[in-house]
Structure 1
Amino acid sequence: MNLDDIRADIDRIDARILALLTERMEKALITRRFKTSTLDSAREQQVLERVTRASRGILDPEFSAGLYRQLMAESKRIQEAGPETVAFQGAHGAYSEAALLHLKPDAVGIPCQEFSDVFEGVEKGIYDYGLVPVENTLGGLVGPVNSILIYTRLTIAAAIDMPIRHCLLTLPGTDHRELRTVWSHPQALAQCRNFLHRNRLEPVPHFDTAGAARELAETRPKRVAVVAGKFAAELYGLEIVKEDIQDSPNNRTRFFLVSAKKEAAEGEKCSVVFTAGDKAGSLFAVLRLFAEENINLTRIESVPDTPGKYAIFIDFEGALASEHVQRAVHKARETTDDFRILGCYKEMRVQE
């Protein structure tokens, strides 16, 4: 062991400390939903007593208590500021969080393990919104999200369409010639297949692109790179070896911002879902209703629902309050089963 090795260990520890500090502040912000006041003297005293008892060896109890007093003061400041919270699936630095920075730059993104956790948290009022990917130009439908959209009571408050630009990331100072393996989400690895093959890099699946970047920053293994976005690189202090390594330049993902409350301002695009059986011409009959009103459809997708039935998603241009949209929606509701309006919203398109 030498000085560089020790400093590398300290860097690993610092990365974990910062990640835990962020998570602690996020949890503190969420607790505000369950309290009548930000001040809870009894709880603060419990925390300080526990921290003091647990401080042993080189760690001075007074130092630990002082540090936690600062942490709790910052927690109360954040709670009193009351920023909006937006849940997303994955780790900090995910493409969903990058989309959130465009859509709601002042909101606080809260990472969740599963898409179902995002929807459930918004439904229970734990989070103000959820931001979920719906479709990708290369990968198609995001199946788990669309399956939940069939039955959720949440509404679509906004949408954003954003380019997905994959980068090859490494630890600073890594000799690129020594790289052997690349971690990332299976879909991201598949979208960079040609680049990885050309550079003789072995793909290793990971649950999340940003999660792979975080693990690289925290564990600092040798000869390993990750595929993730520029936002993840900035967040975890990683070096961008090469940008735009995806095989196709036309790689975009569309996200929905979902909410438990109806937005006051109505947008210019609408989403609906309904079920259709396997009867010939049943879908065509619905599509014709919109065509007769000169309504432009921007998305038509089917997702298996129950045996013999499919949930049909349709997005179209137009305000829900307009007469021709009202006529089409009224006729479609009479023609289909389980017809439901998911939302009428504004959509942002992020350019390259």
Structure 2
Amino acid sequence: MEARDLLGKLRKKIDAIDFEILKLVNQRMEHTLRTRKLKANIADPGREQEIMAGIRRRSNALVGPDFSEHLFKVIINESKLLQQKELKLIGFQGEHGAYGEVAIRIVDQSLLPIPCLEFVDVFDEVVNGQLDFGIVPVENSLEGAVTQVNDLLVEADVQNIKIVGEVKIPIHHCLLALPGTDYREIKVVYSHPQALAQCRGFLSGNKLDSMPYYDTAGAAMMLSKEKPRAAAAIASKLCAELYNLEVLFENIEDNETNATRFLLISNKESNKAGNKCSIVFSTEHKAGALFNILKIFSDAGLNLTRIESRPMRNDPGKYAFLLDFLGSNREQKVVETFEKVKKETAIFKFLGCYSEL
């Protein structure tokens, strides 16, 4: 191999390492912003001394303790500056680049996206105050209801969880690959099973094998980090930007009407007037019970936009219903409707009044 080729190869490795360093620094900043919610003061000299002692102890070989301490002092000072800004944190399920983060960018680009492992983690961290907001998918135009999220809404303590907004986004899948990849060499494509199913026509037409992965963005991150041979990922276009990947093909989904509705949740009720309400209720197990509830809404002239039933996990054999309708809890007819519904239900929970963002 000629010296120029070897130099180019080494520089690519250095570029990849620099990219990973930046991602890790960003991840560290996210965690420091979360700790701000849990402590009284930004400065913590004892903690900083503990960090520096550990850094000096672990510094060896080419990276000496003086350089390491200087580097981390810069990082810590920057993290304290970020904490002073009191940024609003919003959690989403999945890795960076997930469609939840795409939705966040549409809602408000000033919100700082924080990845969470599971949907329940989004709810829990909104409740305990680590996150100012959470964003969760509640239904998809092709796949239907997101059962995990609906179950969490059914079980939510309405004193700590309120819906404060919604956004509906189109889901456009992209085929992503490592920079410089020859498309003709790709044999296998990684992604979430739903994304693979939604791109079945594209995959079949191009004779590409599907490889299920836990998350669309996770597949993109794995591709960037592990660099498997002859592989690509199906994920959002945002993932190409975040993981230094190339977009080979856009909009490869079989159905162009694919869209997901996301709910914005908070531990405080919105102080803005909304035009849609969400409730959870259960009825007595007797004939006509659900009909009687729906008739109350019909008689009030309230337009229902969704009704979903979910089994009550803490009470086998019984069901709870999630219901959305157009209207505001500041309207007298809605207030009166709620009072009538409460008299006919075994459980009634008001999840919030909100608008589309």
**Cα separation, 2, equivalents of 1:280 and 1:184:** 45
1:29-86: CA deviations, max 9, x gaps?
1111222211112221221222122111111222211110110011001100010111
Q: Which residue of 1 aligns with 2:334?
A: 325
2:98 aligned with 1:94: yes
**TM-score normalised by L of structure 2:** 0.94
Q: Give SS of 1:150's match.
A: helix
Matched letter for residue 169 of structure 1 = L
Please point out which of 242, 247, 250 is paired with 1:240: 247
Please point out which of 291, 300, 312 is paired with 1:284: 291
Please point out which of 41, 44, 47 is paired with 1:40: 44
Please point out which of 331, 347, 350 is paired with 1:338: 347
Q: Which residue of 1 aligns with 2:207?
A: 200
**Cα separation, 2, equivalents of 1:187 and 1:204:** 12
Please point out which of 336, 351, 356 is paired with 1:347: 356
Greater Cα shift, 199-208 or 45-54:
45-54
Q: Cα distance, 1:215 vs. partner?
A: 1.3
Matched letter for residue 330 of structure 1 = E
Q: Which residue of 2 aligns with 1:144?
A: 148
Please point out which of 287, 305, 319 is paired with 1:310: 319
Q: Give SS of 1:34's match.
A: coil
Q: Give SS of 2:301's match.
A: coil
2:71 aligned with 1:51: no
Q: Cα distance, 1:277 vs. partner?
A: 5.0
Matched letter for residue 250 of structure 1 = T
1:39/1:240 Cα in 2 relative to 1: closer, same or farther (>3 Å)? Answer: same
Q: Which residue of 2 aligns with 1:262?
A: 269
Please point out which of 21, 25, 32 is paired with 2:29: 25
RMSD in angstroms over aligned alpha carbons? 1.5
Matched letter for residue 251 of structure 2 = D
1:17/1:23 Cα in 2 relative to 1: closer, same or farther (>3 Å)? Answer: same
Q: Cα distance, 1:262 vs. partner?
A: 1.4
* Structure 1 residues without counterparts, runs of 5 or longer: none
Matched letter for residue 225 of structure 1 = A
**Cα separation, 2, equivalents of 1:6 and 1:278:** 70
**Cα separation, 1, equivalents of 2:71 and 2:294:** 62
**Cα separation, 2, equivalents of 1:183 and 1:28:** 32
For these two proteins, the number of residue pairs brought into alignment is: 348
Matched letter for residue 305 of structure 2 = T
Aligned identity (percent) is 45
**Cα separation, 1, equivalents of 2:14 and 2:187:** 25
* Structure 2 residues without counterparts, runs of 5 or longer: none
Q: Which residue of 2 aligns with 1:116?
A: 120
Matched letter for residue 335 of structure 2 = Q
Q: Give SS of 2:34's match.
A: helix
2:216 aligned with 1:212: no
